[in-house]
Amino acid sequence: MATADPASARAPAAAYDNASPALRRELVTPEGVDLEVRLADASERAGAFLIDLVIMGVAMIALTILVGVAAAATHNKTGGSIMIVALLLIWFLLRNFYFVAFELTPRGATPGKRLLGLRVASRNGGRLTADAIFARNAMRELEVYLPATFLFARASGVDAWIILLGIAWCAVFVFMPLFNRDKLRAGDIVAGTWVLKAPRRKLAPDMAVKAHAAAKGVAFTQRELDTYGVKELQVLEEVLRRYEPRTLKAVAERIRTKIGRPADPQLSDGAFLDAYYVALRGRLEHRLLFGRRRRDKFDAP
């Protein structure tokens, strides 16, 4: 029965990024190792963009107020005109170079992208050049500012229809990332870039260490260990990382039923799972060294 194994605990245990294979891409380094990068999906990119938009908006308002206050304080005409120049330039720079400036940094990401663990990278795995960054952001004119202009335009009669058609036309570019395999927007196409999910991960403690200490030398037979494969082991790892009593109990019961081992009153559910985890991992890694990777419980042992 499909529900009678640890795989049923998969739904809540999604801390690790088990991205759909459709978003996995090959990125082979010059050393010949495939980094198996993952593309950012459209919702993450939209989220990052909204965050950036809010930051830009807040910066613009804050700077405008600041410049306004400074202009009022100078009380003369030259001061005022310098302020106008400053303001025009600030708006221009924010609008056109906010993205460029941040993507040129080593992180290759704007604050919004950083928050969501995204970064811009070159599609061919090479360097991300300044002209590519410039080109990908110049395209925002078509993808963001033009549709925005249409959306905020007011008209009636024929002009209104023209604006409506304009919005429909712009939608082609705005929604482009949703309609191609690599989630490329117009700017990415033109610049040869894509946006990757590249979060900073902390090294999680090895579950085997803790589990080994708690396991108190409980032994399993080889038949008991040959019940499961790598996939189930990883789900079990996740369950142990969370260590929620209810899940532990459910998973322990299912494993006991499956391997036909009676419950031991001396051994808590957690300790049982710990022991089983260490033993199963030892067994599967042993088989791995002999060139045999057992993918899941359906794979022949």
278 touches another protein (CB under 8 A): yes
Buried b (16+ CB within 10 A) or exposed e, 188-210: bbebbbbbbbbeeeeeeeebbeb
CB nearer to another protein: give 205 or 260. 205
Nearest-approach distance from CB 133 to another protein, in angstroms: 8
Query: What is the size of the binding site for another protein (CB under 8 A)?
Result: 79
Q: Which of 3, 14, 21, 30 binds another protein (CB under 8 A)?
A: 30
DSSP character string of 132-183: HHHHHHHTHIIIIIHHHHHHH----THHHHHHHHHHHHHHHHHTGGGGSTT-
165 touches another protein (CB under 8 A): no
Residue with tokens 């990382």: 241
Give the contacts of 242 (CB within 8 A, at least 6 positions apart): 12, 13, 15
118 phi, psi to nearest 5 deg: -110, 160
179 touches another protein (CB under 8 A): no
Residues 195-224 binding another protein (CB under 8 A) are 196, 198-209, 212, 217
26 touches another protein (CB under 8 A): no
173 touches another protein (CB under 8 A): yes
Q: Which has the closest alpha carbon to 6: 181, 168, 247? A: 247
Nearest-approach distance from CB 212 to another protein, in angstroms: 5
Do strands 24-25 and 118-122 pair parallel, antiparallel, or not at all (unpaired)?
unpaired
Do strands 24-25 and 37-39 pair parallel, antiparallel, or not at all (unpaired)?
antiparallel
88 touches another protein (CB under 8 A): yes
Q: Which range binds another protein by CB under 8 A, 43-51, 151-159, 236-244, 266-274?
A: 236-244
Do strands 37-39 and 193-197 pair parallel, antiparallel, or not at all (unpaired)?
antiparallel
Strand partners, 118: 197
Residues 96-135 binding another protein (CB under 8 A) are 96, 105-108, 119, 121, 123, 126-132, 134-135
CB nearer to another protein: give 64 or 129. 129
Q: Which of 29, 156, 222, 266 binds another protein (CB under 8 A)?
A: 29
Q: Which range binds another protein by CB under 8 A, 1-9, 55-63, 68-76, 78-86?
A: 78-86
72 touches another protein (CB under 8 A): no
66 touches another protein (CB under 8 A): no
- CB count within 10 Å of CB 224 equals 19
CA dist., res. 196 & res. 37, Å (int): 7
Q: Which range binds another protein by CB under 8 A, 61-69, 248-256, 268-276, 280-288?
A: 280-288
CB nearer to another protein: give 106 or 262. 106
Tokens of 146: 């033009």
Q: Which of 25, 113, 183, 281 binds another protein (CB under 8 A)?
A: 281
